[in-house]
Amino acid sequence: MSAVSKKGFTLLEVMIVIMIIVIITAVLMPHYERAIEKTKVSEALLVTRAIADANRMYNLKNGVYTDDMENLDVQIPGKQGFLDDKNKDSRLFSYSAGEGGEQESIATADRLPADTFYSLIIYNKRNGVGCKYFSERGKKFCMSLGEDYYVIN
């Protein structure tokens, strides 16, 4: 009698491989999403710091800060904000200047779309960038940013 050779995998082996892939994906997906969000923050941080620097220059020249982006000597990518004509909206963030005011913020980047889950804020009299969260997801993200950011709430 000749031996029958088996080619291929059994259903059980295929199911085990699929289960391993699903488990690995479930474990790594939150880390992947956080890493992607951090790269998006780098864009917002560059623009927000440019707004803050321009607002500081405006203050040196005029003695006050402005919340009107048109007064600042900085080019911000994006279109006029749909909620406020003083904002500039990119694909990911809405940028605005701050006039100092009660909390003394001079530049802000709010995460778009409208269900914003965090904001990056630069204050005049405080070093670093603040991360203000509006949801549990935002809180986890703000906490994961590291030492260069401080959490507001």
Q: What is the pLDDT of residue 22?
A: 92
Question: What does the pLDDT average to over 25-50?
Answer: 86
Of 141, 76, 128, 69, nearest in space to 99 by CA = 69
Q: Is the pLDDT of residue 144 over 90?
A: no
Q: What values do phi and psi take at 36, rounded to 5?
A: -65, -45
Segments making up each domain of the chain, as ranges? 12-152
- Residue 131's beta-bridge partner residues? 120, 151
Q: What is the pLDDT of residue 80?
A: 65
Phi-psi region of 85 (alpha: psi -120 to 50; beta: other; left: phi over 0): alpha
Q: Are 95 and 109 spatial neighbours (Cβ–Cβ below 8 Å)? A: yes
Q: What is the pLDDT of residue 21?
A: 93
For residue range 103-122, list pLDDT tens digits in order: 688 898 988 876 668 889 99
Q: Residue 32, Cα to own-chain centre: how many angstroms?
A: 14
Predicted confidence band of residue 145 (pLDDT cuts 50, 70, 90):
confident
Q: What is the mean pLDDT of the chain?
A: 83
Of 101, 116, 44, 98, nearest in space to 76 by CA = 44
Cα four-point dihedral sign 74, 80, 86, 91: negative
